[in-house]
Amino acid sequence: MSNIQRLEKIIGEKKWIRNDIGMGRIQCSKAMLINGELLLLICSEVNHKPVWARVEKILVANDEIILFYDGEYCEELDYDEYAEYEEYVSKEEWKVLFEDENTTKLDAQGLISSTDGFYVDVHENIGGYEGEFDEMESENLDLHFDL
């Protein structure tokens, strides 16, 4: 399966990607294609509200697809914005995003993807992958998703 197909599959599953972001903290992200833009819903037990962000860059490194977003320009979501995301997130799932222990609850509801090889990171960390990523595969994904 190509990397484009792998990423399209994770988007089509409408499941969350679970990432350990260090010091015992967990972040969950959901990749969505909305009006031709690759976006992420992001929640963690550290943040009080979920956020959305645009994917700025995609890298393929060590057979992992890494979606980078600009952490400075995330938009906090309000509970009453559900109508804008109902095609991508169930009502029960949306409710959990605004609760304590949201990542644990997403996992308990079986909403975390079992597919390995996906990671979400802030754009400022992209330098840590310099020279360690597949330039051609990364470029193909960027072009495919119009980044």
Residue 10's domain comprises 3-144
Pairing of strands 37-44, 25-34: antiparallel
Distance CA 26, CA 32 (A): 20
Q: Using CB atoms within 10 A of its CB, is residue 135 exposed (0-12), middle (13-18) or buried (19+)? A: exposed
Task: Work out how many domains the chain is built from and give that number.
Answer: 1
Report the predicted TM-score, pTM, of the whole model to 2 decimal places: 0.88
pLDDT tens digit sequence for 79-119:
999 999 999 999 999 999 999 889 999 999 988 888 888 98
In angstroms and rounded to an integer, the radius of gyration of the C-alpha atoms of the chain is 15
